[in-house]
Amino acid sequence: MTIVNLILSAIIVFAGIVVGLLIRKNNAYRRKAREATSDLYKIKTDSSPIYKVFNLNKSVFGALHKTLRKSPVLAAAEQFKKKFELGRFVIFCSDRNTLLPLMGVGFKLRIIEGLKIDFIKKLLAERESSGQTGEGLPLGVGSYESIAQIAKLPNQLRQPFIYYYKFNNQIILFVGEDSKGELAHYCTITDFDKAIWPLLYDICRSNYSIKKHQEKARALQVDLNQAKSELMEMNRNIKHKAIDVHAFYDISNKMFTIYDGQRLIESFVESIRGILNPARTIVMTRQAENGANFKVAASAGKVPRGIRAMELSAESGVIKLLASQKRAMMLPVLSSGMPENDPFVEKALAHGFSSMEKLMVGGDMCGIVLVSNKRGEKPYDDSEMEIFSTLANMASLALDNIHQYSLIEKMSYTDYVTELYNYRYFYKRLKEEIYRAKRFDRMLALVIFDIDNFKAFNDTYGHQAGDEVLRNLSRLVTKSVRAIDIVSRYGGEEFCIIMPDTGFANCLIFIERLRKKIEEHKFTSKFVDEGYKITVSIGGAIYAIDAQAPDRLIYSADMALLKAKGDGRNRSIMFNSLMLEDEELLKSSQQQLTDMGIYEDL
């Protein structure tokens, strides 16, 4: 029995050892199974954002398929809200330097204001200073108050979530209610950000572009309907090719009240379009004197780009032949009257132009008018060609009026002897330049100078020689100033220069350089065989240091001039307040300005 018990005990111990080993191995397999299950769960978790985006995309297209009248952005917003169990929200997308509200649920997007990107960058800077960086970044609940104030959003949201994401230089900003925190959870996953936000951005921007194009299309449709209405009204008013006399009266009134050449040409083109109804019209003019080419100044209708860039020499046979005619000419007739084919005429005929007329100013041709046949390619009859010539004559008279007006205006502002601006123009420009300097907070210099001992020169060589001195000095001074400076004859042998954007130091350098240049220059004259030299005394004053009103600035510059003359002439002096303490100088200046009617206004 003892041996049997020992054997049984050994068997039991061995069996226990075997069972223990089996249990340990089984636990190892179970542990590996749990680890594999955990790995599978992790894989599923990592891939779920992609499935989430895929399901959202699928739901959007499904919603669009069911309700074709629903916009993509609205369908996407509803599905986005549903998939992530969101409350009210709005999504802003970047457009240049602004974030525009382009998608939302629970808000009226038309009353929400855009956000400046610089403002968002300031909020981001605060977050980055706390160590948070990356393409996607939650801005925190504290940022909502600032955003809501600018964008005009409600003051309170339930569980607000604000998320900023940037990709390919584009920005998208989510602002809304995420009560369950599901969207906030997914935004921590990089793959989710890369998939969802570019998708939403593309949907928003596409819908925004479509809306813009639709608005432009509606505006064009309105313009088209208005144009059709105006055309129908015009056709009702013009029956059987009879032109209402009142139309000519209105056109003439309109033309003769325009004093700008370009505006007149454009008005003339519209008049031709309204009465003759050509498919296309161009007017070619020349702005310079004889020898300049004619260039297209205005057009109407579908004029090809090659025609708009076309030029015609003033010496061409077309111009000479057209100048010899008393009325408008048909281009085929004009071409047949020329010894050889003219490239200009051939090109005009190839683009559908059929008739040509001239515009005259002061006996010289200043422009030509080309018209095509009427819409529908209907040719003009004799009465319509007569109307064409009449309209061209009216435009010529109006252009001549503008030319005469400009000459009279120039004469009223120009000194006859020196061809410089006269005192009237000088005073007008001085007031304008002081106003401009005041508005833009800039300096302005006024320089006044006169010829030393000019009376003695007149007495010695005569007044004609004195006038020649004034003309020669005017030319020299004009060449010595900048393009923006205004040189005028103040009166007698006195001249003045208005110098915008010039301070004390630059003015002082200029007047001394000008004085030396005049002193060293030897003038030639038909009245003085050996030529002559002159000197000038110059005074300068600065706005707004020395004076702030036109008359006071003149007074200050004149005081400096008198000081230069009193110190021995041939000097350049800037004004300073100590001159007001010189009683003799003050009295002399007051008397001079009183004689000119200025001092009593100071």
- Express each pLDDT in 125-151 by its tens digit: 877 665 555 678 888 777 888 888 888
- Express each pLDDT in 520-556 by its tens digit: 999 888 888 788 889 999 999 999 888 999 999 999 9
Residue 79 has a pLDDT of: 83
CA distance 121 to 45: 33
Mean pLDDT over all residues of the chain?
A: 81
User: Is 396 within 8 Å of 403 (Cβ atoms)?
Assistant: no
> Which range has the worst mean pLDDT, 75-89, 423-437, 577-591?
577-591
Residue 123 has a pLDDT of: 84
Q: What CATH number should be reported for the domain whose range is 72-212?
A: 3.30.450
- Express each pLDDT in 463-483 by its tens digit: 898 899 999 999 999 999 999
Q: What CATH number should be reported for the domain whose range is 423-601?
A: 3.30.70.270
Q: Which two tokens stand for residue 472?
A: 């020669």
DSSP character string of 419-459: -SB-HHHHHHHHHHHHHHHHHTT--EEEEEEEETTHHHHHH
CA distance 500 to 518: 22
Yes or no: domain 245-406 corresponds to CATH 3.30.450.40: yes
Give the residues across from 294 on adjacent strands. 312
**How does residue 231 score in pLDDT terms, banded at 50, 70 and 90?**
confident
| Domain-wise residue ranges, the chain | 72-212, 245-406, 423-601
pTM recorded for the entire structure:
0.45
- For residue 289, give the DSSP letter: S
Q: Which has the closest alpha carbon to 196: 183, 206, 178?
A: 183
Do 423-601 and 72-212 fall under one CATH topology?
no
